[in-house]
Structure 1
Amino acid sequence: MQYLAPQEGAFLDLLTDSGRRCEFVAVRAMTRITLSRYLGIPPAAIPLRRGPWGKPEVAVPGNTVGFNVSHHGGLALLAVAARTQVGIDVEGHRPRRNVERIAARYFAADENMRLGSLPPAEREAAFLRLWTRKEAVVKAAGGRLAQGLHLPVSGDAPVLVHDPAETLPGTWRLHDLEVPAGYVATLAVPSSGTAAAS
């Protein structure tokens, strides 16, 4: 396929589910076509690598383009930023494990209390808002999810987030994104930066 690098084509061959194959190709093509416009490199020729915790990045000497992609259940979002890093996360509503139990174990105490004070019908959406905010920061900072679950991210957007434990570097501005019903998404950019999301 013209929008996939050879190693991506090899991974595609391992996928047996047709829905996952289509999603993989669509997300990779969207990412590579968009990045090629910023970099002036043909889509399949863009060298990508994974950072220490799996975040994809462009492996071009002197690269100044940061990007991040997230997809869930047929919706994919891509964020691109010049001269900085960026993180994006999207999650879809679905029956979940006990969100109160997850929040009690991992979230900041005030977030856990606020979640518990909501009517049961509103808890999943509130949980997903907190979750996407935390994951967007983790992805922007190039960390791993466990480092960000404790981050205090509640409040009206845009929210400024700094890791009080200093395991994740930087101060991040969170923007809740408008997405189709049934989804929740957040974009994280450095407190002084901007990015484009599509």
Structure 2
Amino acid sequence: MGESTQVAGAVVVTGLVPEDPAAWHTESSELLHPWEREQSRQFTRETRARYVHVHVAAHLWAAGVLGVEPGAVEITRRPCLRCRAEHGAPQVVVDGHSSYFSTTRTGRHYAFALSSRPVGVDLETIRSTLDVDAVAHVACSDTERAHLAGLSPAHARATFFRWWAAKEAVTKATGHGLKADFRTVVASGTDASSTWEFDGTAWHVAEVRVDGSDVVGAVAVPPSS
């Protein structure tokens, strides 16, 4: 795991799941909350082990950021925006006090974000197999699609994935997640790192860098008052 940095008012860290399964954190799975254990059971054996490694890493990292023992950290879920059941966005809870928390993984890369304000983080691998034009029709506004049409294919693909990471970071922060209409999550300009608006609220989005890879990322928080 890399060093934690302050990005857009949140503490953010990126990491890489080790290639050797012997280095995974599966021996510390007792740190996980029941919902994390239950979710892990939905995956195949190797995917489950990777999931456990990343989630244990999240507990250890949050404990370090907050200056507490790992066993004192609970990662629970906030109430769902639709039904109010506790399967909404994750949060870190220590001694009854909660912090906003977000996590993301693509391939072996992962990232965590922790903040006293709503926060969302997302990583995306730039995939050559994705039909960008087709997905843009359901994920981008008319203005965004027109901008993509004026770019070279390679530049349009990279721009689309940066926008997607920004849009998903925003909707994670709001609690809507992938249920949101991404066409209504729009930036003030064409740069993924800027002010984005969704559902009448502005969000500050900053790039999360993953050097030496084809992964792009973004973190979203409310603008400073």
Please indicate the TM-score interval, normalised by the length of the shorter structure.
0.7 to 0.9
- Encode CA deviations 1:100-157: one digit per residue, 9 max, x unaligned: 1211233111111111111122222111011001000001111132425021124335
Distance change in 2, residues 1:157/1:95 (3 Å): closer
Aligned position for 2:7: none
- Encode CA deviations 1:45-90: one digit per residue, 9 max, x unaligned: 5333223163211355752421111110000111111x21111000
2:129 is paired with a residue whose SS is coil
Q: How does 1:132-171 map to 2 (within 5 A)?
A: 132-150=165-183, 151-153=185-187, 154-156=189-191, 158-163=193-198, 165-166=199-200, 170-171=201-202
2:59 corresponds to 1:16: no
Structure 1 stretches lacking a partner, 5+ long: 194-198
| Aligned 8 A contact 1:134 1:148 in 2 | no
The total of aligned residue pairs comes to 187
2:57 corresponds to 1:30: yes
| Aligned 8 A contact 1:129 1:184 in 2 | yes
Structure 2 stretches lacking a partner, 5+ long: 1-26, 81-86
Which residue of 172, 185, 209 corresponds with 1:178?
Answer: 209
Q: Distance in 2 between matches of 1:6 and 1:66?
A: 16
2:186 is paired with a residue whose SS is coil
Aligned position for 2:28: 2
TM-score w.r.t. the length of structure 2 is 0.72
Aligned position for 2:14: none
Q: Distance in 2 between matches of 1:63 and 1:184?
A: 32
Which residue of 106, 123, 135 corresponds with 1:90?
Answer: 123
Which residue of 153, 172, 187 corresponds with 2:219?
Answer: 187
TM-score w.r.t. the length of structure 1 is 0.81
Percentage of pairs with the same residue? 28
Q: Distance in 2 between matches of 1:142 and 1:33?
A: 24
